[in-house]
Chain A
Amino acid sequence: MAWKMDNPLYSLSDEQEQQQILKMWGEERMGGLIHPANNRLPFPLTFLIALIILTAFMLTMPIWGQRPTAAIYQTHVELMNSPEVQKLATAEEKMKYINTEAYNRAPDNALKGQLERHPIDWYDLQNLAPHIIELQKQTKYPLDNFTVLGDKVVLANFEGNFRADGVRERKQPWWDKGYTIDVFYVSYYCLWMFIMIKRLPHFSKKPVTT
């Protein structure tokens, strides 16, 4: 079990130990099976694994797949009792007008994207409106701290930073402690795999059969 640290990218075990392992691999027959070959991790596989780790973090960020917040329907609530909407005959016509107006008034592409992904119908809007109007009267949490679930509005359970007044932010973050844990977890895995693999005989050496 001697460790050799002078060239860790080559091997972490000394020559004598590598030879012992190769001799055992060469002689051993397990139910007639030859020991697995001492081939390296092919470069495309190493590349693919790096790509998977990068993809895992990039693809799962909370900014993707955001839930609708009460804030994105503020314009809808403002417009629903306006004379322009009231004069329209059907629910479909009302919603078509409101959706178009809300989209056009959205100040940035982020909100426009949210509106496209979370359409709402007239009856859900009627149910939501009183809740949103009530929430606009309070100051503890801004509207984007509330999630819309169907026809209900609930305080989101995101655990953001504490504000100066001691209240925790409930807005959907772009990074959270789950990701921080993942960074350490994946790092430990990579370190463990590096040690496991580099403790084996170097891939240029093949099992010695006698």
Chain B
Amino acid sequence: MLFKYLSAKNEDIPPGSAAIFFGFSAIFWFVVGTGLGSFNAAKLAFPDFVTGTELFAFGHMRQVHVLAVIVGWISMAFAMTMMYMTPALGNTRMWSEKLGLWTALLWNVGLSSALLSLWIGITSGREYSDFAWPFDLVILLGVIAPLCVNVIMTIAHRRTQGIYITNWFFGACTFMVGIVLLVGNSPEYFHLTGLSEAYLTWWNAHNLLGLWITPVAAAIAYYTIPKLTGNPLYSHRIGHMHFWSIVVFYSTPASHHLMSSPLPEWLKSFASVEGVLILIPAVAFVANILLTMKGKWSMFVENIEIKFSVTGVFLAIPLNMQGGFQQTRSINWFIHGTGWIVAHAHLALLGMSTFLEIAAVYFGLQQMLKRKLYSLALANFHYWFVLIGFCTYWISMTIAGLIQGAGKIYEVPYIDVVIAEHPYMIARWVGGTMVFTGNLVWLYNMWMTARVGTLVPDGRYAHELAYER
């Protein structure tokens, strides 16, 4: 249905069309990404699982999982929220719904091609930027640039005097992530090697987290929590503190990913201090949201979107406590290159960020489709499967990382460490598979919502209506 609007006039396209396109695409890529994660985890738990063809070797499959989740699920969920929150917060409509639809189409086609090329082995070999450089350009020029233009032009054409905090983040982050991709991928465009390549690879990876995934996820919570609870955001000035400390402190500590490299030590010292200072935006965000919940904590139990959102905010606490301290010289010495880092990355992407996005996609799709969620029971099933699955994964990988760290420091033979980790690899697979199962149920629930969900009358919100299932 959405495809017919690709050639329609902008004013003839119903508001929210691009958000719906992005929303369902995001859920689809989440299912694909977590399915690949479950497959990869099975290979680590059971080394004889699917052998004999190099296409299904771990080295081929890992990056496909990582980028399907980041560029497919997380970034498309962000685009979806931008497509409905940005105009809503400016009391206007999207600057170009048509550009939004074309961006969604190009995004899906480009990502499918890029992942296919990655799967067959065409890769830059740079972590978090594994695509070959032509695909990097497609993402920059065909996906991020039009999204940025659409968001910033919508903010510029708003019908409000002020700009709500969520839109500060949306406008700034879509711009900043473009700069990150342009500069961060320069080793591929200009064949930079050695330390320059290493530094820019981690500058890119760090800032994808710091200037895109974490702040946009937080911006979403600044909308969903006040919107659903009916409370105003607790403090405008804490919002200022969060925004500026993200820009100042999250953009600078890239070299703390390379504490054992021959980068200048003073640069590592600078980055390490900045790394701990990441706790400033974190405490500002968590405090502002939790104080906004005052008097509405019953919704944490009763409302599925609040349940996901607040869980995401809670997960921001261990995320930033780990992130702030694990990069210091003394702790990095122990945990660098172990499963601890894998656990931490999942805490950021599958924990804090994903829970906030799921809430926004649930809320946004119901609003844009003007239909009540098909089944609360399935949504609760989704919540508990994703939460228990994630926690199983996170805890098991954290323990595995500590074992690896001890093995590394005390020079325990590698194979002994592999044997010691085996139970945790099985737990990792069980947890990842639970997340995948939960997401399959979510896709079904949203599909049924679009088809048979109860129609929401004009002027009402979906969350104001009672559930029927």
**Shortest distance in angstroms between B304's beta carbon and chain A's nearest beta carbon?**
20
Tell me the dominant secondary structure on chain B's binding face: helix
Whether B238 lies near A52 (C-beta < 8 A) is no
Whether B161 lies near A178 (C-beta < 8 A) is no
Which residue of chain A has the shortest Cβ distance to B238 in the bound complex?
A41
Q: How far is the CA of A49 from the CA of B244 in the complex (A)?
A: 14
Whether A42 lies near B279 (C-beta < 8 A) is no
Q: How far is the CA of A36 from the CA of B284 in the complex (A)?
A: 14
Give residues 140-161 of A contacting B (CB, 8 Å).
157-159
> Which of the segments A81-89, A126-134, A190-198 contacts the partner chain?
A190-198
Chain A residues in 8 Å Cβ range of B262: 157
Cβ 8 A contact of A53, one of B240, B277, B325, B410: B277
Contact flags A47-69 to B (C-beta < 8 A → 1, else 0): 01100110111011010111000
Chain B residues in 8 Å Cβ range of A48: 283
> Which of the segments A2-10, A23-31, A71-79, A97-105 contacts the partner chain?
A23-31
Whether A65 lies near B330 (C-beta < 8 A) is yes
Cβ 8 A contact of B160, one of A30, A56, A192: A30
Whether B265 lies near A37 (C-beta < 8 A) is no
Count of residues in B whose CB is under 8 Å from the partner chain? 58
Chain B residues in 8 Å Cβ range of A36: 165, 226, 232-236, 239
Chain A residues in 8 Å Cβ range of B268: 178
Whether B273 lies near A178 (C-beta < 8 A) is yes
Q: How far is the CA of A37 from the CA of B222 in the complex (A)?
A: 13
Whether A52 lies near B235 (C-beta < 8 A) is no
Cβ 8 A contact of B91, one of A30, A59, A197: A30
Chain B residues in 8 Å Cβ range of A40: 235, 237
Determine if A1 is an interface residue (Cβ-Cβ < 8 Å).
no
Q: How far is the CA of A37 from the CA of B233 in the complex (A)?
A: 6
Q: How far is the CA of A176 from the CA of B329 in the complex (A)?
A: 14
Cβ 8 A contact of A179, one of B252, B269, B276: B269
Determine if B270 is an interface residue (Cβ-Cβ < 8 Å).
yes
Residue among B90, B249, B410 having the largest count of chain A Cβ atoms under 10 Å: B249
Chain B residues in 8 Å Cβ range of A25: 162, 236
Whether A59 lies near B238 (C-beta < 8 A) is no
Whether A189 lies near B237 (C-beta < 8 A) is no
Whether B276 lies near A159 (C-beta < 8 A) is no
Whether B236 lies near A56 (C-beta < 8 A) is no
Determine if B406 is an interface residue (Cβ-Cβ < 8 Å).
no
- Known A-B contacts A49-B280, A59-B328; the reply to A193 vs B241 at CB < 8 A is yes
- Known A-B contacts A176-B265, A182-B274; the reply to A35 vs B162 at CB < 8 A is yes
Determine if B50 is an interface residue (Cβ-Cβ < 8 Å).
no
Whether A31 lies near B267 (C-beta < 8 A) is no
Cβ 8 A contact of B237, one of A28, A34, A121, A200: A200
Whether A59 lies near B236 (C-beta < 8 A) is no
Determine if B264 is an interface residue (Cβ-Cβ < 8 Å).
yes
Which residue of chain B has the shortest Cβ distance to A31 in the bound complex?
B88
Cβ 8 A contact of A24, one of B161, B410, B411: B161
Which residue of chain B has the shortest Cβ distance to A53 in the bound complex?
B277
Ordered by A's residue number, 30 sampled pairs between the chains whose C-beta atoms are within 8 Å are A24-B162, A25-B236, A30-B89, A30-B160, A31-B164, A32-B227, A35-B162, A35-B164, A36-B226, A39-B235, A39-B238, A41-B238, A49-B283, A56-B274, A56-B275, A60-B273, A62-B269, A64-B328, A157-B264, A159-B264, A159-B265, A178-B266, A178-B268, A178-B270, A178-B273, A182-B270, A189-B245, A196-B240, A196-B244, A200-B240
What 5 A-B pairs are tightest by C-beta distance, nearest first? A65-B329, A178-B269, A31-B88, A178-B270, A65-B330
